[in-house]
A = this chain, B = another copy of it.
């Protein structure tokens, strides 16, 4: 499957369609870039009016080249693309890069044209990159198939970007920093080749050890989550998603809908697939810098070697902020450090080698620090002081880094020619360098995060535990939804009940004995209420008894209520008495709900309930479905988790029961694509279990009429 994109990444013969003679012509630039890159394949400029382009023999069309091109780079304007694509299909071209803008992004006409182009490609078995893109670069193959003039050196990182402008900026920056890339791909409109297909290609690409993604949107969520999970199982994946605050609030009928912002869904999706999300573009650059060093750390534990206290504290602050920690210095490492450092050293991590540290002292301290088992990485900080050997200390880092496989990060603070020289030296030895301690820590935590997320990336099976939902009853309840699409409270509760979720379901008793039997089943205390279509204000007629504690009391309540009602309203039709479980406040009132995200499909949210739910926004969100492990993680991540667990000596709630409710709820949501939104509010948790006291569900009646494919409403496919 991954071989499918070889036509794009490893072409031998490349046609450049629309290459003109002017140096400012787009196609001309692409030809020039291919030649300047020293591409070792064949370049065919395509131009019906000229014999050559920049001295290179040109051909009138892709059908008239000496050999069939593997790849055609289309540098013609949008209006001419369709014809050329048809010619490519006829000629047997395998891959197309289309640079022109003017397609889907400009409106319906452009979209139709794009769809037409994709259709031809699919039928001809051609793969298409773009349109509206900068192209791609494969430095190792000296293939610069872009209109960007420069190309970084070969390296181990793949950049996949939806922005050509950002890619151009990264290229220039990487050149200055000496950072190499395995592939640089700009997806543009991603009409055919999108992020998922690219990741699937890169996961098997031996030159690629990590991928860095600049995304503006994710189109096919299932394809993305599947590909990303395959990728992160083998290699780190770091994603910058633009537009965090741009998403406007959605109209929604439930708390869940109002609380689940689009950006939280991206967080959930990226974490779920084991990708690290970075929130600032600078953080992406810093992370690239560290990934380029190609050394792996699994835990965010750092040993810091510094010649000044202040910058050491900065790194500690940043580590704490980002959830990393300082490595603990073992007695043997302490001994080793004592041997090589003056007595006034800090005797702790950060390892302060003091302001007068010569290069040798740095080297000895770093060597001791790398051998500390608890440290997964080493950060070396230098500030220029009176005695500081700026260059020699850089050599010391390089020498010490050769004694370990752990990542070694360098922060040479200050500036000036000597510092620049030291940084260049470090960089050319493959030591990542950063301007400030915080940047180094960010990069370090980012790369370890991708590892730790991977552990929980396993997709849950669709059915959560060995329970047998009453699917027929559920389907019938859903099918019976009124035209409004809003399932009434009782039917919503019945729906949850069909999936084995405890609900406070009022049940009708037509005799005192039946009332006692129902109450026995529910558990005491209960509430008994008159059931009559003719009686609205039940308490006014003495039609409610609160709190019967045993079967006898229930029987007595039944008789009493019926007698009261008959006396007060002799003409009323009496159906019987409704029995309902009384549920106390428990440890906490939660909200458990599901809502549909336009990109990532059904999501499941657990939140703190009560009046303050919307205000405090104490919630956890995951893509559906979730398994028991994820459900537990969600509950434990709530700020009110201590209340659930049992706060200050209070008995803890039955968390297993709560987890079971969540996974069963997840199964319900996964089974029924017609459900657009559901909510239990409150879901009360106590030592004796979890029970939903109120329920609602919104049904998509169109989906009911035209059932969508199984699981098509999920952003992550169950196994």
Residues of chain A at the chain B interface (Cβ within 8 Å): 24, 26, 29, 147-148, 150, 163-166, 168-177, 214, 216, 242-246, 279-282, 285, 307-311, 313-314, 316-318, 320-321, 355, 383-387, 413-416, 419-420, 435-439, 611-612, 615-616, 618, 639-640, 642-643, 647
Cβ-defined contact, B246 with A313, below 8 A: yes
* 10 pairs from A and B in contact (CB 8 Å cutoff): A148-B386, A150-B416, A165-B310, A165-B355, A169-B414, A244-B317, A244-B321, A245-B320, A281-B437, A616-B616
Residue in B384, B435, B643 whose CB lies within 8 Å of A168: B384
> Which single residue of chain B is at the shortest CB-CB distance from A280?
B438
Closest Cβ of chain B to A526, distance in Å, is 25
A438's contact among B166, B170, B282, B355, by CB below 8 Å, is which?
Answer: B282
Given contacts A165-B311, A615-B642, A639-B616, contact A416 B316 (CB under 8 A): no
**Cross-chain contact A436 with B640 (CB below 8 angstroms):** no
**Contact among B166, B245, B415 for A310, CB-based, below 8 A:** B166
Decide: A647 and B313 in contact? CB cutoff 8 A. no
Could you tell me the distance in whole angstroms from the C-beta of A254 to the nearest C-beta in chain B? 15
Q: Inside 8 A of A168's CB, which chain B residues have their CB?
A: 383-385, 414
Identify 13 new A-B residue pairs, CB closer than 8 A, beyond the known A165-B355, A169-B413, A175-B415. A148-B386, A165-B383, A166-B413, A168-B383, A169-B414, A172-B384, A172-B419, A173-B413, A176-B416, A245-B317, A282-B436, A282-B439, A615-B639
Taking a contact as CB atoms closer than 8 A, the residue among B173, B318, B419 that contacts A415 in the complex is: B173
CB pair B615–A647 under 8 Å, yes or no, is: yes
Q: In the complex, which of the residues B170, B309, B618 contacts A163, with contact meaning CB atoms closer than 8 Å?
A: B309
The residues of B that contact A647 with a CB separation of less than 8 Å are: 611, 615
Q: A282-B436, A310-B163 are in contact. Are A177 and B415 (CB under 8 A)?
A: yes
- Name the B residues within 8 Å of A243 (CB-CB): 313, 316-317
A502 CB, nearest partner CB in chain B, Å: 24
- Nearest 5 A/B pairs, CB to CB: A165-B308, A172-B414, A176-B415, A245-B320, A169-B413
- How many copies of the chain does the oligomer comprise? 2
Q: How far is the CA of A640 from the CA of B608 in the complex (A)?
A: 14
When distances are taken between beta carbons in the complex, the residues of chain B under 8 Å from A282 are 435-436, 438-439
Minimum C-beta distance from A510 to chain B (A)? 38
Residues of B within 8 A of A387 (CB): 24
Q: Are B242 and A313 in contact (CB under 8 A)?
A: yes
In whole Å, how far is A623's beta carbon from the nearest beta carbon of chain B? 23
How far is B216's CA from A317's CA once the two chains are assembled, in angstroms? 13
Query: B165, B310, B611, B639: which contacts A242 (Cβ < 8 A)?
Result: B310
B residues less than 8 Å from A419 (CB atoms): 172
Distance in Å: Cβ of A379 to nearest Cβ of chain B: 14
Chain B residues with CB under 8 Å of A321's CB are: 244-245
Contact assessment for A166 and B311 in the assembled complex, using a CB-CB cutoff below 8 Å: yes
Which residues of the other chain, B, contact A29 by a CB distance below 8 angstroms? Answer: 386
- Which of chain B's residues has its CB closest to A240's CB? B314
Q: Which of B280, B307, B316 contacts A245 (CB 8 A)?
A: B316
Report the nearest B residue to A439, measured CB to CB: B282
Residues of B within 8 A of A172 (CB): 384, 413-416, 419
CB of B150 within 8 A of CB of A316, answer: no
How far is it, in angstroms, between the C-alpha of A638 and the C-alpha of B416 when the chains are bound? 47
Complex Cα–Cα for A150 and B320 (A): 34
Please give, as numbers and ranges, the residues of chain B lying within 8 Å of A242 by CB-CB distance. Answer: 310, 313-314, 317
Residues of chain B contacted by A26 (CB below 8 angstroms): 386
Q: With a CB–CB cut-off of 8 A, which chain B residues contact A384?
A: 148, 168-169, 172
Are B317 and A173 closer than 8 Å at their CB atoms?
Answer: no
The listed residue (B164, B170, B386) touching A385 by CB distance below 8 A is B164
B residues near A435, Cβ cutoff 8 Å: 282, 285
State in angstroms the CA–CA spacing of A437 and B282 once bound together. Answer: 9
Q: Could you tell me the distance in whole angstroms from the C-beta of A585 to the nearest C-beta in chain B?
A: 10
State whether A308 touches B166 (Cβ < 8 A): yes
Closest to A314 in B: B281
Known: A165-B308, A244-B320, A355-B165. A643 touches B148 (CB 8 A): no
Q: Which residue of B lies closest to A172 (CB)?
A: B414
